[in-house]
Chains A and B, each alone.
Chain A
Amino acid sequence: MKNRSLLLKILSAVLVFGAWEVAGRIPVSYAFPTFLESMSSLLRMTLDGSIFVAYAETLKPLIVGVAISTVLGIGLGLWIGLSEKFEWLFSPIFIVMQAAPLAALIPLLVMAYGIGLTSKVFVVCIMAMPVIVLNTSGAVRNTPESLKEMGRSFMAKDHHVLLKIIIPAASPVIFSGLRLGVSAGFIGAILAELKITPTGVGDIISYSRSIADYPSMYAAIFSIILLAVLFLNLLEKIENILFEGNDRGYVTD
């Protein structure tokens, strides 16, 4: 069973990359390189180290932003889920944040915080935080009443109910919010580099496009997608370690 699902994953990868190779060879567009060209570009950038220099720049706002969004987002989400007053106060902010077209807000952020790291971290947070907050608060509010009642009937103190019942019960939805939030954070990090100042991976993408080095452009895009997938897998591993009973299998790995 385990082998078979691995086989299916490899088959799916071969199909996608094969289609990419074929589309690149036709070619569907002058600006669309083949899979092999892109991979050789990626290999070249890896060997000369330029991809690592780029990621050192890109990962700064990404990691800071995702870390802030995770800690603050889960904290606020728990609070909003537990307190009705707090929900009225803060929930609208995150709903507006989630609905706002971010690209249109970037000029405002640049005016307020300049073109440095601060603005980029803001972009990542605006992308990542709302879904984390809203998922966490929704999950907390939907804790089964009978589980809380069970806790109280066995004389649980309030912090026991929170730590041993509410948070584990909410954890699958909190983690699905984290997965969505982290993916959005990746989008935010690249968007910031394309829209604010071209640095890191965003710089490789826009520079290679401007000199028509399409294989490098696609290699950069491919690498960021790969990184995002690996990160989501890591997140799932963390979830399975923290909350053993949640493990019913997801499709991301």
Chain B
Amino acid sequence: MSQTSQAFVDAHPSAQDNAVTVRGVSKNYGAVEALKNMSLEFPRGQLTSLLGPSGCGKTTLLKIIAGLLKADSGEIIVNGKAVTGPGPNRAFVFQDFALLPWASVLRNVAFGLELRGVAKSEREAKAEKYIKDVGLAGFEHSFPHELSGGMRQRVGLARALSVDAQVLLLDEPFSAVDEQTRRKFQEDLLALVANENKTFIFVTHSIEEAVYVSDQIAILLPRPSRVHEIIRPSNFRAKGIDNIRRDPEYLDIVDEIWASLRNYVE
């Protein structure tokens, strides 16, 4: 991290505390501009959705924040430090689950800790706790092919939680599971955000899902990719999860987002 940006962080203890800051990030794939001079802030302890039509670069941005892709220019600041690659302060949940098919649920959940050299008994104890937390107790010794899609993603989530990273990056985590499981996941995610004191960055293409789970929604538009608007739903979040979907503000925001995205969907 350069000294100037450290000075910048020190000199501006901003009103809101950002866990992740994206500053002027650009990324090209050959002649295609995936991201162009993008800047975004992700408040600590909150869930921010990246929402947009396909091709708007939301997964690219998430992978750059994860350190899996290098930005061509600009920088990512996580907890005051510039990102140079994958780090212990971020954990990733994959769209296709990315579970090891030859490993049991227990080993899959403990895999992040295994890669960090944590002793077997310690990492398995930790993994067992998170397996219970995500509601998979009793499946520790099952293999991924024996689980349903929803249960597999719970394994992916437990793996990300077990490494105890402050920032969780979720890449369309619920797009491969059925609608009912998805709703349950969304409710569980709200509880997780409330209880875990972690920062969540959530990529989705579902407008309703984004509005339902997010403290802050960043609408991205493609060609060239840019942040179109940042929406912060304010009122319905405190009214309890059962009332969100019929709250007038919720419905208005969903309509408003669709109105601005409509022209970009082929």
Contact = CB atoms under 8 A, between A and B. Distances in A.
Does chain A bind chain B?
yes
Interface of A: 144, 146-147, 149-157, 160, 164-165, 168-169, 171, 243-246
A150 B88 contact: no
B101 A245 contact: yes
Nearest to A157: B115
Interface residues of B, number: 25
Contact of B143 (A164, A168, A245): A245
B147 to A, nearest CB: 13
Given A160-B115, A164-B115, A153 B92 contact: yes
Contact of A153 (B91, B101, B114): B91
Contacts of A246: 102
Contacts of A152: 68, 86
B94 A154 contact: no
Contacts of B159: 154
Nearest to A245: B102
A147 B88 contact: no
Interface string B154-175: 0000010001000000000000
B191 interface: no
A235 B140 CA distance: 29
A3 B166 CA distance: 53
A154 B112 contact: yes
Contact of B94 (A150, A165, A171): A150
A21 to B, nearest CB: 44
Chain A interface, >50% SS class: helix
Contacts of A160: 115
Contact of A155 (B87, B98, B100, B103): B87
13 contacts: A144-B98, A146-B94, A146-B96, A147-B100, A150-B94, A152-B86, A153-B68, A153-B86, A154-B91, A154-B92, A154-B111, A155-B87, A169-B101
Contact of A147 (B66, B98, B112, B143): B98
B126 to A, nearest CB: 14
A146 B98 contact: yes
A244 B107 CA distance: 12
A157 B115 CA distance: 8
A244 B90 CA distance: 31
Contacts of B104: 245
B116 interface: yes
Contacts of A164: 111, 114-115
Given A245-B100, A245-B101, 19 more contacts: A149-B94, A149-B98, A150-B92, A152-B86, A153-B91, A153-B92, A154-B91, A154-B92, A154-B115, A154-B116, A154-B163, A155-B86, A155-B115, A164-B114, A168-B102, A168-B103, A171-B102, A245-B104, A245-B143
Contacts of A147: 98, 100
Contact of B102 (A153, A155, A243): A243
Contact of B86 (A154, A243, A245): A154
B15 to A, nearest CB: 32
Given A154-B91, A154-B115, A155-B88, A149 B100 contact: no
